[in-house]
């Protein structure tokens, strides 16, 4: 490593003084104990990082790890010089080739170029594999610290920046280390990178398959949940799928520069209702499509309401439960959070039943809802707001045999999630909420028996099914009594 006395520019004292007094370079980051400048001179670009006080050790560590990674054959931003000046420590690195992975993926997703997305993710996965194979790790392996160069011949290449948190575990790279590093990478990817692409990253970064890959994926999921729980640095973070962004651009005449502000601005949205804990809006596209948005106030800690609904959608979707499609999400520590879901076709189940359905259609609807509720129970999930108004049903063309067909989706998943012990009470509650919201004149006792048989997958009700039915009926009576008390107070 060169010392600051050997840097290929004028003497370090005058050069650094020029940075500090603003005569050279652009200040891109200033904190109480660390500053970063971008310098462009004579066709060259480099970055100068200054550590003061407690950050001196961090910048020294980064300089050391740039050299160690380079010796290990891990691509990293080139170290030009480092050294102490007047009690501070300076690190000079060359500009990394390419662009941050997050920017590359956002551009590719906006253009609908899935091949470019896969190539960029492949380069990042190869970099993670190279790092771990060298016996090294980096908990800061995020989409902003991985630069992807798409100008290289053949496949894109990737390199690391900001490597102060790199480490070499004494006992080598354990599965837990891999999971933490890869969780940081997956958690930082932009909205729109799907689950299949994420699994491809894990497979390519490890070369694993089968049960071994599944176990790693479970570990990564646990690490991501930890990151979600403690991540309050997402000031103004937002992501939306390409379809919604294009509609916003069409409605407002230009693509939004700041997605978070664009989605918080009511603009052409319709405010459906405002409650103490949220506001509901609707976004209507000129072609008739629509999206529904919930805006929540900020929280002091833990998961925001938007993140809770996002997690509920993900959990139920992975369990094979048909749910509304997430279209956008955003969170700001001071301004709150929001989630946008695509409008589900059709109408709520209770409205459909009130409008009148045939006996054959009623049997199909009963069978479909029972299958969905059974799937939630088998996956140990609960909805907690499982009323018929949150079940959207779209009537499809009859099948080849003339039988009625429907598409069904669950909405309003803010309270959905894993059912804690004792689980049975949550399954009873979900079934009781469905039963409570059904119009009584539109269903029969036989319909209820058919529903229970499908729910338990039995040809006739056994003792366990009958006990469950009695518990559901008792819970429904309590729900009805509480609703009557609230109505009387109103």
CB atoms closer than 10 angstroms to residue 405: 13
Concatenating the DSSP letter of every residue in 398-429 gives --TTS--EEEEEE---TT-EEPPSSTHHHHHH
CATH 1.10.510 placement within the chain: 99-230, 347-489
Across residues 84-92, what is the average pLDDT? 85
Digit-coded pLDDT (tens) for 446-483: 999 999 999 999 999 999 999 999 999 999 999 999 99
Collect all residues with Cβ–Cβ distance below 8 Å to 136 and sequence separation of at least 6.
68, 69, 72, 74, 166, 167, 168, 173
Report domain 237-342's class: alpha beta
Q: Determine contact, residues 149/75, Cβ cutoff 8 Å.
A: no
User: Which comes out higher in pLDDT, residue 10 or 36?
Assistant: 36
pLDDT for the residue 412: 94
- When the pLDDT of each residue in the chain is averaged and rounded to a whole number, the result is 90
**Does domain 347-489 fall into CATH 1.10.510?**
yes
User: Topology of domain 99-230, per CATH?
Assistant: Transferase(Phosphotransferase); domain 1 (1.10.510)
Q: How many CB atoms lie within 10 A of CB 205?
A: 25
- pLDDT for 2 equals 47
User: pLDDT tens, 408-454?
Assistant: 999 999 999 999 989 999 999 999 999 999 999 999 999 999 999 99
Query: What are the DSSP calls for 30-67, one per residue?
Result: E-SSEEEEEEEETTEEEEEEEE-TTHHHHHHHHHHHHH
Residue 350 confidence (pLDDT): 96
Residue 161 pLDDT more than 80? Answer: yes
Paired tokens of 76? 């990293």
pLDDT at 11 over 70: no
Cβ 482 vs Cβ 489: under 8 Å: no
- Answer yes or no: is pLDDT of 17 > 80: no
Q: Per-residue pLDDT tens for 166-221?
A: 999 999 999 999 999 999 999 999 888 888 999 999 999 999 999 999 999 999 99
| Segment 275-315, tens digit of pLDDT | 988 999 999 999 999 999 999 998 887 788 898 899 899 99
- When pLDDT is averaged across residues 365-389 and rounded to a whole number, the result is 96
pLDDT of residue 18: 67
Write out the CATH class of domain 4-94. alpha beta
Least confident residue range of 49-58, 251-260, 377-386: 251-260
Per-residue pLDDT at 1 exceeds 50: no
Does the pLDDT value for residue 48 go beyond 80? yes
DSSP-based three-state secondary structure for 340: strand
The ranges of the chain annotated as CATH 3.30.200.20 are 4-94
Residue 332 has φ and ψ, to the nearest 5°, of -140, 135
Q: Average pLDDT, stretch 134-156?
A: 93
Q: What is the mean pLDDT of residues 235-263?
A: 83
**Tens of pLDDT along 383-397?**
999 999 999 999 999
203's tokens: 């497979």
Q: Report the share of the chain in percent with pLDDT over 90.
A: 63
Rounded to two decimals, the pTM is: 0.77
Within 91-209, where are the H helices?
Answer: 101-111, 114-133, 175-188, 195-206
């Amino acid at each position: 490593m060169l010392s600051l006395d050997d840097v290929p520019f004028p003497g370090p004292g005058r050069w650094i003084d020029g940075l500090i007094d603003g005569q050279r370079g652009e200040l891109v980051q200033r904190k109480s104990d660390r500053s970063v400048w971008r310098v462009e001179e004579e066709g060259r670009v480099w970055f100068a990082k200054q550590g003061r006080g407690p950050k001196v050790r961090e910048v020294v560590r980064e300089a050391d790890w740039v050299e160690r990674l380079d010796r290990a054959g891990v691509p990293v931003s080139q170290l030009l010089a480092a050294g102490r000046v007047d009690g501070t420590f300076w690190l000079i690195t060359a500009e990394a080739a390419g662009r941050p992975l997050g920017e590359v993926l956002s551009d590719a997703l906006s253009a609908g170029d899935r091949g470019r997305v896969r190539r960029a993710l492949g380069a990042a996965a190869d970099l993670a594999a190279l790092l771990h194979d060298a016996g090294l790790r980096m908990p800061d392996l995020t989409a902003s610290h991985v630069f992807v160069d798409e100008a290289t011949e053949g496949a894109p290449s990737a390199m690391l920046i900001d490597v102060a948190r790199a480490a070499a575990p004494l006992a080598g790279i354990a599965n837990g280390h891999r999971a933490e590093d890869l969780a940081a990478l997956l958690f930082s990817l932009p909205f729109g990178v799907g689950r299949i692409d994420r699994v491809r990253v894990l497979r390519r970064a490890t070369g694993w398959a089968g049960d071994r890959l599944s176990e790693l994926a479970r570990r990564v999921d646990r690490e991501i949940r930890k990151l979600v729980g403690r991540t309050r640095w997402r000031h103004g973070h937002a992501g939306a799928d390409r379809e919604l962004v294009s509609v916003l651009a069409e409605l407002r005449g230009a693509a939004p520069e700041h997605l978070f502000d664009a989605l918080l601005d009511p603009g052409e949205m319709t405010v459906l209702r405002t409650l103490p804990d949220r506001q509901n809006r609707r976004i209507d596209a000129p072609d008739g499509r629509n999206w529904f948005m919930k805006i929540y106030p900020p929280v002091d800690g833990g998961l925001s309401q938007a993140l809770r609904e996002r997690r509920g959608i993900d959990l139920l979707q992975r369990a094979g439960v048909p749910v509304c499609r997430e279209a956008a999400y955003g969170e700001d520590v001071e301004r709150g959070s929001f989630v946008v879901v695509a409008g589900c076709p059709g109408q709520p189940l209770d409205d459909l039943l009130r409008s009148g359905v045939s006996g054959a259609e009623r049997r199909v609807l009963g069978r479909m809802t029972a299958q969905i509720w059974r799937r939630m129970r088998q996956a140990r999930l609960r909805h907690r707001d499982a009323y018929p108004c949150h079940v959207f049903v779209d009537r499809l063309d009859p099948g080849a045999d003339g039988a009625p067909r429907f598409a069904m989706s669950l909405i309003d998943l803010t309270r959905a999630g894993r059912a804690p012990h004792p689980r049975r009470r949550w399954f009873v509650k979900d079934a009781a909420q469905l039963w409570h919201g059904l119009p009584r004149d539109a269903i029969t006792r036989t319909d209820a028996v058919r529903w229970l048989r499908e729910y338990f997958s039995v040809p006739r009700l056994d003792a366990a099914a009958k006990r469950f039915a009695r518990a559901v009926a008792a819970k429904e009576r309590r729900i009805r009594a509480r609703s009557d008390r609230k109505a009387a107070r109103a």
